[in-house]
Structure 1
């Protein structure tokens, strides 16, 4: 098994009201030699915004903003902006996040040129009901995992007050470069990870989504395979391009008598067609073991959302037990060598 070094907790709550409950699940990017972190800051009552800090090396925070850089301001995010991820394509930064309105969980996008001012592009996942999802899936002649039709997806059409309810679609992650000339996203409707390829955001119309779900099996990007991912999986960190392909850190979940256990897992994908899996580790790269990972707001959670390469090491940033932000590192070469022992 690969040797992973736990670097410990690097960010905790403060007494500031926007982050007094937890700080978790950060987006991390290196730009101009500077490490920028955009993290989910949770205030009492489980309302999330996006905090910001800057690091001078992978483990040392040298600046932390006293106010959120993004906070709920639209109806579809009135109960929180959660779980950001960030990439840069050309001269634009793309920050994806989960928008939560108290009932619906959807994927949204904001862009920036300077990492200080962000423009919202709005929700970019489908916002369709479970019944519409099932109706359109009937056009796809391929069989589907019965977990798509279980209780966590099988929501009513609307609340008692008439508010529309959508199938839960989150973990929106963008590749840091275009694939075959198109923006390439990952998202997650349980239990698998799905992919989304578009020329521009305006392409995401209702007819687009009808065609998408009518050929849903073509868009299932990555499926659970091993015991530690037997319940479901989800996109984690934006994939990192290495000589051997795309390195994908994702979260894997299995159920126990004490509840779900969330781990960080890893796979290697084809450089030119990421839907082709080259290899994946048959065990979690990082599973909850330390007290700060096993005991918190939600126990037994290592939830990876940001990763960087620094001095030939891969640093993975993750939410630990939904309470704090921790980091673990591994030799990049050793990780690739280990992955290649498990090529398909």
Structure 2
């Protein structure tokens, strides 16, 4: 099974408005009628490396143009003027747009090292220490909009005291409740049933109060997902189960992509899984970037005429598109007995 990268990749690159001048990546994408809307994560600079969510639109899902001359969602809107909002995953339920996002509340710098992982520097921004917050901690939440453009904060989906991101809301209620996938970094050890951060599931009746998360999946193949896994994009409902792309990170911090199939009525139950990655860094724009090398990081997937459109961040620098027939992707799963 092989994904096809679009011939015009990367389809979205930095530039234009000042607030997206340095990097654009990890987009949420939704289709409304015949139009595609992309919620890109964008940065103006590396020092500070402050990101916001911008909005692009397209008629074909490939050629995107800006909708507005300013971001549609920022940390300032949450009361954190120096912070960053990140990695939008967007669904539409009962006519409303819900955006899952990650929040880093205060400023930090990103310094490419030339040797692989960048160095992040929050130390000379005193807000972290003044507010007694662990440097670089990330909290997740949901913003809501009636038109997909004007968002307001609905509530947080994770506690402030733990690092919990990669939140992805299911596109419909399950058993009368909203459901969300999470990745709490501190939920590791004998008490939690996993030695590495994994994918967890919580439910809510109102999107404000969430159940204690239950473990869904952990890393199984140390070769390519040995340090952590997390939900990549919004779950896709199929007649066989919920199809969930996820990212796995190896010991060298290379990001690859796998797929899970979750039970339709009980999405804490894994009924299928790819044994090998379905996507890994291959092209230049996936192996070398402004910030982080060797990264393919899907944050959006749509099914159009039987084909899965996968939108993904490349090295925290630009955005790519890959496609695969849905039936071919489902056939690649090894089903649990």
Where do 5+ consecutive residues of structure 2 fail to align?
107-134, 186-196
**Over residues 227-256 of structure 1, what are the superposed CA-to-partner deviations in whole Å (9 max), with x where a residue is unaligned?**
311111011101000111111011111112
Contact map agreement 1:56 1:62 (CA 8 A) in 2: no
- Which one of the candidate residues 218, 223, 234 is aligned to 2:218? 223
CA displacement, residues 130-174 of structure 1 (integer Å, 9 cap, x when unaligned): xxxxxxxxxxxxxxxxxxxxxxxxxxxxxxxxxxxx221111110
Larger relative helix fraction: 1
Alignment of 1:83-102 (within 5 A): 83-102=87-106
Q: 1:238 to 1:25 in 2, by over 3 A?
A: same
Q: Take 2:82 and 2:277, find their aligned partners in 1: how far apart are those partners?
A: 35
Give the Å deviation of 1:342.
4.2
For residues 78 and 311 of structure 1, the distance between their equivalents in structure 2, rounded to whole angstroms, comes to 42
Q: Secondary structure, in 3 states, of the residue corresponding to 2:331?
A: helix
List gaps (5 residues or longer) in structure 1: 128-165
Partner of 1:270: 263
Give the match's secondary structure for 1:114.
coil
How far the C-alpha of 1:289 sits from its partner, in A, is 1.0
Give yes or no for contact 1:238–1:306 (8 Å, CA) kept in 2: yes
1:78-134 Cα deviation digits (max 9, x unpaired):
32111110011111111010111133310011001111211211322112xxxxxxx
CA apart distance, 1:66: 2.5
CA offset at residue 65 of structure 1? 3.1
**Residue in 1 that maps onto 2:144:** 111
TM-score (norm 2): 0.82
Q: Is the 8 A contact 1:58 1:310 kept in 2?
A: no
Question: What's the secondary structure of 2:31's corresponding residue?
Answer: strand
> 1:76 and 1:282 mapped to 2: Cα distance?
41
**Is the Cα contact below 8 Å between 1:78 and 1:100 reproduced in 2?**
no
For residue 327 of structure 1, the aligned residue among 311, 321, 324 is: 321
Distance 2:16 2:41 in 1: 15
Q: TM-score, normalised by structure 1?
A: 0.81
Contact 2:36 2:57 (C-alpha < 8 Å) held by counterparts:
yes
Alpha-carbon distance in structure 1 between the residues aligned to 2:80 and 2:168? 19
**Corresponding residue SS for 1:284:** coil
**8 A Cα contact 1:72 1:78, kept in partner:** yes
Matched ranges for 1:275-314 at <5 A: 275-296=268-289, 297-314=291-308
The separation in 2 between residues aligned to 1:109 and 1:76, in whole angstroms, is 16
| Equivalent pairs, count | 290
Q: Would you identify which runs of 4 or more consecutive aligned residues in structure 1 move more than 2 Å?
A: 62-66, 74-78, 201-204, 341-344
- How many angstroms does 1:3 deviate by? 1.8
RMSD: 1.6
